[in-house]
């Protein structure tokens, strides 16, 4: 009887056991480190599993990310070649992410940081309010998360554009595609929101060169992955005044070290990687379905191409 491995320092194994055994009664779910004979594992459910986790799992056929991102799986130099890689694609998470990105867009649009400072200083100030239709939002990454964020923000009347590898057709959202259209995308972006997956192409993408192509006074919102942002370049752009503020949910090192300058920077808001957290209740259906499909020899849902990396 094959078994499922669960290994995550982030997700609650009790909630996952309950959610999965409700859908597959009798499921043999083995929570690391109590995995028994590794040769019995055919499906692994992981988040940031350390190098070597899959050693000895000679019958492993699928590795599923406990999140929408899979960079933590491809990061393992010992990743076995055979198993298919699958991920969660959960409308619940897309809605949560859209809420978070909208929250940041509205905070910057309505001059939240200036009013927050004024309150600290006990100053009663009134600043000009800009129209939503003239505030240009640019979303990098127009996949399951970015496309939903674009739809939600566009519905409020903002001028929204998306940037992705391939062209998109979302009503009311202008599509820019590929590196050749990136400069045009950046040049019309007042609030840049990153929802890209981490791959070799997107690592260090948001650097001084890219930030310099945004209009002066632009804002940066990152909830993709920390390694997409060159942190020193953002700090320099904030200090020069070219970038007016940033809201960051992901960092190169997580948890963000206590001494990191982002914690105390007056124009940076730090969030502890919570913009779209995995929810066992909403994601368990698709994972249970994939376990069933694997064992029935059927095609899996939400597969990730190893070549593409996302
Ligand atoms: P997805 O559905 O795979 O979409 C990825 C998007 O990025 C696609 O539109 C893709 O373009 C685009 N893209 C990838 N590489 C690109 C490149 N080199 N140049 C231009 N565009 C590129 O991914 P998703 O489900 O939306 O998730 C995106 C990422 O969000 C995850 O990988 C993860 O890092 C992050 N995330 C963060 C949190 C959080 O709590 N902070 C939660 C969940 C996910 P095409 O459409 O043309 O392929
Ligand atoms: C969270 O960061 C995810 O990838 O789901």
Domains with residue ranges and CATH for the chain: 3-90+278-296 (3.40.50.720), 92-270 (3.40.50.720)
Catalytic residue numbers read 225, 273
Does ligand 1 have an atom closer than 6 angstroms to the CB of 5?
A: no
pTM: 0.97
Does ligand 1 have an atom closer than 6 angstroms to the CB of 234?
A: no
Asked whether the predicted pLDDT for residue 246 surpasses 90, the reply is: yes
For ligand 2, atom 3, name the residue with the nearest CA.
Answer: 67
Question: Phi/psi of residue 139, each to 5°?
Answer: -110, 120
For ligand 2, atom 5, name the residue with the nearest CA.
Answer: 67
Tens digit of each residue's pLDDT (9 = 90 or more) over 84-129 = 999 999 999 999 999 999 999 999 999 999 999 999 999 999 999 9
| Measured CA distances, 246 to 147, 205, 219, 242, 283 (Å) | 21, 16, 6, 12, 30
Query: Within 6 Å (CB) of ligand 2, which residues are found?
Result: 67-69, 278
Residue 1: its pLDDT value, please? 79
In percent, the amount of the chain with pLDDT more than 90 equals 100
Smallest CA-to-CA distance from 202 within 177, 175, 222, 229 is with: 229
Rg (C-alpha) for the chain, rounded Å, is: 21
Per-residue pLDDT, averaged over 194-213, amounts to 98
Cα–Cα distance, 306 to 119 (Å, whole number): 50
Question: Which of 165, 202, 279, when mutated, tests ligand 1's pocket best, judged by the most ligand atoms within 8 Å of its CB?
Answer: 165
Determine the distance separating the centroid of ligand 2 and the alpha carbon of 92, expressed in angstroms: 13
Smallest CA-to-CA distance from 194 within 218, 175, 221 is with: 221
């Amino acid at each position: 009887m094959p078994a499922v491995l669960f290994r995550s320092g982030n997700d609650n194994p009790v909630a996952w056991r309950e959610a999965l055994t409700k859908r597959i009664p009798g499921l043999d779910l083995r929570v690391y480190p109590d995995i028994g004979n590794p040769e019995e594992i055919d499906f692994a459910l992981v988040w940031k599993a350390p190098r070597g986790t899959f050693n000895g799992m000679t019958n492993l056929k699928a590795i599923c990310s406990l999140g929408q991102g899979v960079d933590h799986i491809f990061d393992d130099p010992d990743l076995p070649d055979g198993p298919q890689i699958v991920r969660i694609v959960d409308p619940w998470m897309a809605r949560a992410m859209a809420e978070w990105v909208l929250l940041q867009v509205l905070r910057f649009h309505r001059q939240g940081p200036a009013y927050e400072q004024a309150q600290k200083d006990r100053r009663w100030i009134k600043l000009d309010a800009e129209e939503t239709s003239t505030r240009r939002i640019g979303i990098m990454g127009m996949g399951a998360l970015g496309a939903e964020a674009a739809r939600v923000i566009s519905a409020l009347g903002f001028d929204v554009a998306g940037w992705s590898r391939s062209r998109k057709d979302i009503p009311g959202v202008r599509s820019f595609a590929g590196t050749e259209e990136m400069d045009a995308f950046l040049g019309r972006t007042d609030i840049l929101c990153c929802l890209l997956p981490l791959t070799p192409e997107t690592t260090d993408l948001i650097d001084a060169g890219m930030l310099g192509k945004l209009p002066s006074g632009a804002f940066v919102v990152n909830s993709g992955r920390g390694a997409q942002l060159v942190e020193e370049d953002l700090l320099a752009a904030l200090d020069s005044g070219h970038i007016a503020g940033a809201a960051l949910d992901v960092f190169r090192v997580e948890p963000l070290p206590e001494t990191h300058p982002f914690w105390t920077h007056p124009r940076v808001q730090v969030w502890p990687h919570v913009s779209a957290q995995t929810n066992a209740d909403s994601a368990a259906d698709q994972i249970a379905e994939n376990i069933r499909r694997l064992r029935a020899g059927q095609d899996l849902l939400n597969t990730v191409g190893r070549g593409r990396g996302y």
